[in-house]
């Protein structure tokens, strides 16, 4: 039996290639862009978007993350309120309450950290200051106004009963330079930065975030989103949070996430392992956890961030879009 060879027009392969080439850019552009403000680049807690992007987890959920790094506090919130970014990572709870009370178009969407222990204060190893009680008249650093390190610094000053001068010093790296040059007496840091300096005895530990008893069971920082983004792109937000949660779980499941972190920020594995396992347990970063809100509100009141407590109805509205 003879088989006939089907005739294929010469132009068809070229036409097929053109169709595929035209389709590929549209497939790539199908990913929804989420602009994210991240304070303190290279911090384990706030690195999830970077790590998930590098690992392809956000892409799997149809999300492309565009990052704006900030020094924290008001800088992060301002970027969010202005609409320059869609989501702000690791923002102080009391500051979120203050912005909400003033009518800012933002809402918290998940927890960043509860029972935080990753922030600490230190001095140059040669400093005569042995404890915070020796700090009368001395300068003590925090990242930026309105940040959780700012609020904790004020709390530590009050707790120590010593009159110190709280001073915004920027990032952990910038603060270290100021401590070693004598521009500031007591510096602050967020792990992993400073772990090697402590081990090499270049700096000496004075206090940790969890030295404040009421902060041991409080959601100190939250992820917060612009209200326009929440209301107009709810599906994108849902997929962003799903990818974020998946990345977070992956970062604690084994060493692959840890090694990805080290590669992104060019940091040594030993220090990052200490930062993760000793300073930032997985339960502290549970996105759904929300505790100690009354403590955060007391801080907001005492620091005059808000003029009166938020009513239950206001709190219900504030946390309306929280991750479940």
Do the domains 119-214 and 32-115+217-318 match in fold? yes
pLDDT of residue 40 exceeding 80: yes
Q: Domain 32-115+217-318 carries which CATH code?
A: 3.40.190.10
pLDDT digit string (tens) for 173-204? 999 999 999 999 999 999 999 999 999 999 99
Average pLDDT over residues 25-52: 86
pLDDT at 30: 84
pLDDT at 29: 53
The length of the chain, given as a count of residues: 324
pLDDT at 6: 42
Handedness of CA 272, 47, 72, 147 (dihedral sign): negative
Instruction: Give the integer Cα–Cα distance in Å for 178 and 122.
Output: 12
pLDDT at 49: 98
Q: What is the pTM of this model?
A: 0.84
In this prediction, residue 35 has a pLDDT band, given cuts at 50, 70 and 90, of very high
What is the share, in percent, of the chain residues with pLDDT greater than 90?
87
Of 125, 81, 126, 128, residue with least CA distance to 107: 81
In the chain, domain spans: 32-115+217-318, 119-214
Identify the CATH class of 119-214: alpha beta
């Amino acid at each position: 039996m003879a088989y006939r060879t089907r005739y294929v027009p010469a132009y068809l392969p070229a036409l097929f290639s053109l169709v595929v080439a035209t389709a590929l850019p549209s497939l790539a552009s199908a990913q929804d862009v989420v602009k994210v403000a991240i304070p303190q680049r290279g911090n384990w807690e706030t690195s999830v978007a970077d790590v998930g992007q590098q690992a392809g987890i956000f892409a799997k959920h149809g999300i492309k993350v565009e990052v704006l790094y900030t020094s924290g506090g008001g800088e992060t919130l301002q970027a969010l309120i202005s609409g320059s970014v869609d989501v702000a990572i690791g923002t102080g709870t009391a500051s979120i309450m203050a912005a909400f009370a003033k009518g800012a178009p933002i809402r918290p969407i998940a927890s960043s950290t509860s029972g935080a222990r990753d922030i600490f204060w230190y001095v140059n190893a040669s400093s005569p200051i042995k404890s915070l009680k020796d700090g009368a008249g001395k300068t003590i650093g925090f990242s930026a106004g309105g940040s959780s390190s700012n609020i904790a610094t004020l709390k530590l000053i009050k707790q120590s009963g010593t009159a110190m001068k709280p001073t915004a010093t920027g990032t952990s790296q910038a603060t270290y330079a100021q401590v070693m040059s004598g521009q500031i007496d007591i510096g602050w840091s967020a792990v992993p930065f400073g772990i090697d300096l402590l081990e090499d005895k270049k700096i000496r530990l004075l206090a940790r975030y969890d030295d404040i008893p009421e902060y041991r069971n409080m959601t100190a920082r939250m992820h917060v989103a612009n209200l326009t983004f929440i209301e107009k792109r709810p599906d994108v937000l849902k997929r962003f949070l799903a990818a974020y949660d998946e990345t977070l779980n992956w970062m604690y499941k084994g060493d692959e996430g840890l090694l990805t972190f080290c590669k992104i920020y060019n940091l040594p594995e030993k220090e990052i392992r200490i930062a993760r396992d000793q300073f930032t347990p997985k339960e502290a970063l549970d996105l759904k956890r929300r505790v100690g809100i009354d403590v955060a509100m007391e801080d907001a009141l005492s620091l005059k961030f808000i003029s009166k407590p938020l009513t239950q109805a206001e709190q219900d509205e504030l946390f309306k879009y929280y991750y479940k």
